[in-house]
Amino acid sequence: MIEALLQEAGLSVHQLDGIAFGAGPGSFTGLRIACGIAQGLAFAAGLPVAAVGTLECLAEASGESRVLSALDARMGEVYIGAFERGGDGWRPVSEPALCRPEQAPVLPGAWVGCGSGFAVHGGALARRYDGQLCAVRADLFPHAREVAAIGARMLARGEGVDPALAAPLYIRDKVALSVAERAARKVQASSAET
């Protein structure tokens, strides 16, 4: 697929300035695959690599200037980060984090909420950011076009790294709840409903 895309653009990998990949947070397997492919291509062609955050990609996709990006992280949690547009890119107001929606970071001012975290945990996030969400775009997902746009800006600023140094952004180190943790969450949920 990569070869077909390059042929369609009339390019070879050696003509590129660098390779960008979606570094995360997100699916462990997906992040490892993206990073591994970027490293392999970049190493073979002697190119730098730009590791682009998926939450920043959501901000880019929104077209807004103050964005609260949230991806469903499963297990009742979200990957969340807040970004403001500035200069030629994004400035993090709240670095990417993993938390339960009701424990999301406190932020000043108004925000546009984006991503699957709002589709799954919209009620809890709306309560947490009571009156601060001027719009919600739960339909947005990180996309390759935003990885490319942000990656190109990073490379132009000299922020590319040696392929050996490229790494996924892992925020979570646990991939499943234990039986006891699932039972405790069910009890909490039924208590909250009453």
Q: What is the pLDDT of residues 6-18, one digit of tens each?
A: 999 999 999 999 9
- Cβ proximity of 169 and 24 under 8 Å: yes
Tell the residue number behind the tokens 């050696």, with chain if given: 14
* pTM (2 d.p.): 0.87
Nearest to 74 by CA among 39, 38, 32, 119: 119
Q: What is the pLDDT of residues 82-112, one digit of tens each?
A: 999 998 899 999 999 999 999 999 999 999 9
Establish if 104 belongs to a structural domain. yes
What pLDDT band is residue 145 in, cutting at 50, 70 and 90? very high
Establish if 43 belongs to a structural domain. yes
Q: What are the residues facing 83 on neighbouring strands?
A: 67, 92
Q: Is 30 left (phi over 0), alpha (psi -120 to 50) or beta?
A: alpha
Sign of CA dihedral 129, 130, 133, 136: positive
CATH of the domain at 88: 3.30.420.40
Bridge-based pairing state of the strands 133-137 and 78-86: unpaired
- CA distance between the termini of the chain: 52
Establish if 189 belongs to a structural domain. no
How many domains, the chain?
A: 1
Establish if 140 belongs to a structural domain. yes
Q: Which amino acid is at 79?
A: Y
What range does the domain containing 152 cover?
Answer: 2-173
Establish if 179 belongs to a structural domain. no
Establish if 185 belongs to a structural domain. no
Bridge-based pairing state of the strands 66-72 and 49-53: unpaired
Establish if 150 belongs to a structural domain. yes
- pLDDT surpasses 90 at 62: yes
Average pLDDT score over residue span 68-82: 97
Establish if 180 belongs to a structural domain. no
Q: Give the Cα separation of 102 and 130 in Å (integer).
A: 11
